[in-house]
């Protein structure tokens, strides 16, 4: 029964996030918000809602291993597997916004996480953790990122989110309420199921978080990116994946640490190295690589690297 609720929880979580984003976007239009503002707030947040809800429940219940590893695993999958799969389908040539904002900021976010996880900037407690103050700093970074992205987008031609569907106000509010309910129950079932699965199979909660939960919460980005690549819009796939990475670190971990300090196991430094390294690879390919793009062969190598990383995790935990 627990396993059924675990799977059902993921489905409800993802559906709830989509319904909430659609309802909130429609309501934003009714309130005369511009498409650009909606795109950089509601829609951008939507890609990280599953990770955010799971981390809120995990932090509130003291399952802090799940909180950090969920973000690490999701970001590694976004960068290596999702971007790799998209490039394998159709080579990725990044747009100007992705090239000069998302690529460097995603790399910067990974370096900030590495710093905060391995230093005690405020407290003198034994061991390392991402604490309350660092959580606030991370949330301030997401505010700065949103402002910078908004200002940058104003100088770009075209509107990034013209295809927002509009519904009657009562329906939009109803969708938001349904979405919130889906996030609540889905998040509860996923966290409960993860704890039981870890205990049943003798797996650490960290391993469950960095593999099973991370893969499941990245499924919306995977589907969106593959569809974009099949339409030969794989640059969108790169933007979606890197944007999700930024939200995961600055917002998801920021809120999680604000709720409860997140103790950091230095054994996870290998995973942080993989995360930062994969972002660095993307940056090198699009700034200095041949043709300043991610080719099909490079995409295939990225996917192979992700599979090898997961296999290594399973056999070394």
Q: Domain 2-315: what homologous superfamily?
A: NCX, central ion-binding region (1.20.1420.30)
What confidence score (pLDDT) does residue 122 get?
60
- At 141, is the pLDDT very low, low, confident or very high (cuts 50, 70, 90)? very high
3-state secondary structure the chain: CHHHHHHHHHHHHHHHHHHHHHHHHHHHHHCCCCHHHHHHHHHHHHCCHHHHHHHHHHHHCCCHHHHHHHHHHHHHHHHHHHHHHHHHHCCECCCHHHHHHHHHHHHHHHHHHHHHHCCCCCCCCCCEEECHHHHHHHHHHHHHHHHHHHHHHHCCCCCCCCCCCCCCHHHHHHHHHHHHHHHHHHHHHHHHHHHHHHHHHCCCHHHHHHHHHHHHHCHHHHHHHHHHHHCCCHHHHHHHHHHHHHHHHHHHHHHHHHHCCEEECHHHHHHHHHHHHHHHHHHHHHHHCHHHCECHHHHHHHHHHHHHHHHHHHHCC
- At 160, is the pLDDT very low, low, confident or very high (cuts 50, 70, 90)? very low
Which range of 180-189, 198-207, 216-225 scores highest in mean pLDDT? It is 180-189
Given a cut of 80, whether residue 159 has pLDDT beyond it is no
b/e sequence 31-65, b meaning 16+ C-beta within 10 Å: eebebbebbbbbbbbbbbbbbbbbbbbbbeeebbb
Length of the chain: 317
What confidence score (pLDDT) does residue 52 get?
86
What is the tens place of the pLDDT at every residue in 48-100?
788 888 888 888 888 777 889 989 999 999 999 999 999 999 998 887 778 88
Average pLDDT over residues 115-138: 81
Domain-by-domain residue ranges, the chain?
Answer: 2-315
* 8 Å CB contact between 278 and 111: no
Mean pLDDT of the chain: 84
User: Which is higher by pLDDT, 165 or 250?
Assistant: 250
* Look-up of token digits 């590495």: 114
Q: Of the candidates 226, 237, 281, which has an alpha carbon nearest to the alpha carbon of residue 107?
A: 281
What confidence score (pLDDT) does residue 166 get?
83
What is the tens place of the pLDDT at every residue in 240-293?
889 889 999 999 999 999 998 888 888 899 999 999 999 999 999 999 877 788
Given a cut of 50, whether residue 161 has pLDDT beyond it is no
Phi, psi (rounded to 5 degrees) for 130: -95, 110
Question: How many Å apart are CA 64 and CA 129, to the nearest integer?
Answer: 10
What confidence score (pLDDT) does residue 16 get?
84
What is the tens place of the pLDDT at every residue in 176-186?
889 888 888 88
| Furthest-apart CA atoms within the chain: distance in Å | 54
Question: How many Å apart are CA 317 and CA 174, to the nearest integer?
Answer: 44
Given a cut of 50, whether residue 157 has pLDDT beyond it is no
Given a cut of 50, whether residue 158 has pLDDT beyond it is no
CA dihedral 213, 218, 223, 228 (to 10 degrees): -170
């Amino acid at each position: 029964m627990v396993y059924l609720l675990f799977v059902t929880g993921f489905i409800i979580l993802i559906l709830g996030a989509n319904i909430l984003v659609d309802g909130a976007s429609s309501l934003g239009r009714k309130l005369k918000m511009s498409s650009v503002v909606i795109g950089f707030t509601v829609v951008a947040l939507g890609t990280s809602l599953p990770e955010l809800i799971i981390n809120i429940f995990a932090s509130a219940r003291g399952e802090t291993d799940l909180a950090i590893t969920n973000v690490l695993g999701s970001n590694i999958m976004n960068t290596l597997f999702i971007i790799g799969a998209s490039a394998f389908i159709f080579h990725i040539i990044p747009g100007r916004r992705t090239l000069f904002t998302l690529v460097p900021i995603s790399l910067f976010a990974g370096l900030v996480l590495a710093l905060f996880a391995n230093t005690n900037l405020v407290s003198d407690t034994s061991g390392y953790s991402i604490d309350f103050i660092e959580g606030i700093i991370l949330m301030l970074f997401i505010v700065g990122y949103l402002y910078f992205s908004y200002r940058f987008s104003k100088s770009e031609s075209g509107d990034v989110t013209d295809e927002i569907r509009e519904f009657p106000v009562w329906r939009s509010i109803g969708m938001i309420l349904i979405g919130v309910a889906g996030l609540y129950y889905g998040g509860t079932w996923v966290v409960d199921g993860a704890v039981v699965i870890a205990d049943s199979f003798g797996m650490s909660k960290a391993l469950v978080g960095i593999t099973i939960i991370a893969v499941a919460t990245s499924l919306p980005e995977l589907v969106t990116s593959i569809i974009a690549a099949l339409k030969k819009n794989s640059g969108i796939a790169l933007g979606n994946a890197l944007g999700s990475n930024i939200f995961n670190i600055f917002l998801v971990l920021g809120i999680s640490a604000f709720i409860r300090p997140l103790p950091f196991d230095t054994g996870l430094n290998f995973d942080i190295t993989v995360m930062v390294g994969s972002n660095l690879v993307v940056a090198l390919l699009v700034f200095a690589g041949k043709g300043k793009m991610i080719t099909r062969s490079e995409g295939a190598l990225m996917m192979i690297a992700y599979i090898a990383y997961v296999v290594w995790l399973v056999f070394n935990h």
